[in-house]
Amino acid sequence: MADEIKYEYTTVRTVRGTDGLVISKMRKDGWEFVSQTPGTLRSTLDFRRPKKPQPWFLIGALAAVLVILSVAIGTAAALSGGGESSDESDRSTAAMSEEPSVTSAPTVAASGAAEVITPRNNPEFAALLKADSCDDANLDFAAKYEGRTIAFNGSIVNMAPHGDYDTRYDFLLGPGDKGPNTGIGPAFKYEDVNVLELKLTGKNVPDTIGVGDKFRFVAEVGEFNADQCLFFLDPVSTRVR
């Protein structure tokens, strides 16, 4: 049917408990919520929205113009090229074959290595470090940069044994140098890690670490739990400041 509505579809994976926020954001962008498939830790949300009609009459007119131009150019080339000698053509071809080829130098992006995100090179991350721990900016950043590596100056806000283990801990980290008095920024969490997994570096690596200690944290972006307002990270390296 000519009047049948055609849709485009997209699927979004979310941390369970944040479905409402994601659906609200998608609706603002014109998407219609279709279905939800719950999982153990994540949910899969399906959306659709009407496809924008294509201006076919303009596309057809442009194609016709291109055909006319190609015919005119071909005719002009044939008329003007009749007086050229084959020797000139051969010399031109030989000159082209003698020109050295230019190969672009490989870049970081071409090699597949992604740049480490810092407050200096990423405005979104700089804003996140000043936002509230429950702000929507946490969910947006986690969804966009999950799996990427970030680096920031921070301190240990809290440190507690994980479960019944006395060698594994849950670390609560905050941006800045205020330790347990940190009042701004996300509540970053390392969950169930030992001190060796922090990969401590620097000139004066301490034998023990505790609440209030200041470090340069390099970590991989994980999930954001909107119910607990916790932003999960995985440690990559930890430099003493």
Average pLDDT over residues 91-117: 50
Domain count, the chain: 2
Q: 3 in a domain, yes or no?
A: yes
Length of the chain: 241
Torsion angle of the four alpha carbons 138, 140, 143, 147, in this order, in degrees rounded to the nearest 10: -60
pLDDT band at 106 (very low <50, low <70, confident <90, very high): very low
pLDDT band at 196 (very low <50, low <70, confident <90, very high): very high
pLDDT at 40: 64
Q: 89 in a domain, yes or no?
A: no
Average pLDDT over residues 26-34: 88
Nearby residues of 48 by Cβ (< 8 Å), 6 or more positions away:
7, 8, 9, 10, 31, 32, 34
Largest CA distance in the chain: 92
Q: 16 in a domain, yes or no?
A: yes
Q: Which tokens is 199 given?
A: 């990969």
Domain that holds residue 204: 123-240
- Comparing 41 with 94, the larger pLDDT belongs to 41
Q: Are residues 164 and 229 in the same domain?
A: yes
pLDDT at 177: 97
Q: Are residues 208 and 140 in the same domain?
A: yes
Q: Are residues 56 and 150 in the same domain?
A: no
3-state secondary structure of 11: strand
Single-letter code of the amino acid located at 101:
S
pLDDT over 70 (residue 157): yes
Contact 209, 156 (CB under 8 A): yes
Q: Are residues 134 and 233 in the same domain?
A: yes
Q: Are residues 137 and 207 in the same domain?
A: yes
The CATH number of whichever domain residue 191 belongs to comes to: 2.40.50
pLDDT at 163: 87
Final residue before a domain boundary, out of 10, 45, 74: 74
pLDDT over 80 (residue 225): yes
pLDDT at 68: 65
pLDDT over 70 (residue 103): no
Q: 90 in a domain, yes or no?
A: no
Final residue before a domain boundary, out of 52, 74, 96: 74
Q: How many CA atoms lie within 13 A of 31 on its CB side?
A: 18
Contact 228, 17 (CB under 8 A): no
Q: Are residues 136 and 217 in the same domain?
A: yes
pLDDT band at 13 (very low <50, low <70, confident <90, very high): confident
> Tokens 């799996």 correspond to what residue?
147
Average pLDDT over residues 191-216: 94
Provide the β-strand partners of residue 151: 218
- Comparing 15 with 191, the larger pLDDT belongs to 191
Contact 189, 231 (CB under 8 A): yes
Q: What is the pLDDT of residues 43-89, one digit of tens each?
A: 788 989 988 765 555 556 666 656 566 665 665 555 555 444 445 44
Q: Are residues 127 and 236 in the same domain?
A: yes
Q: Are residues 234 and 131 in the same domain?
A: yes
Residues 170, 192: Cα–Cα separation, whole Å: 5
Q: Are residues 6 and 69 in the same domain?
A: yes
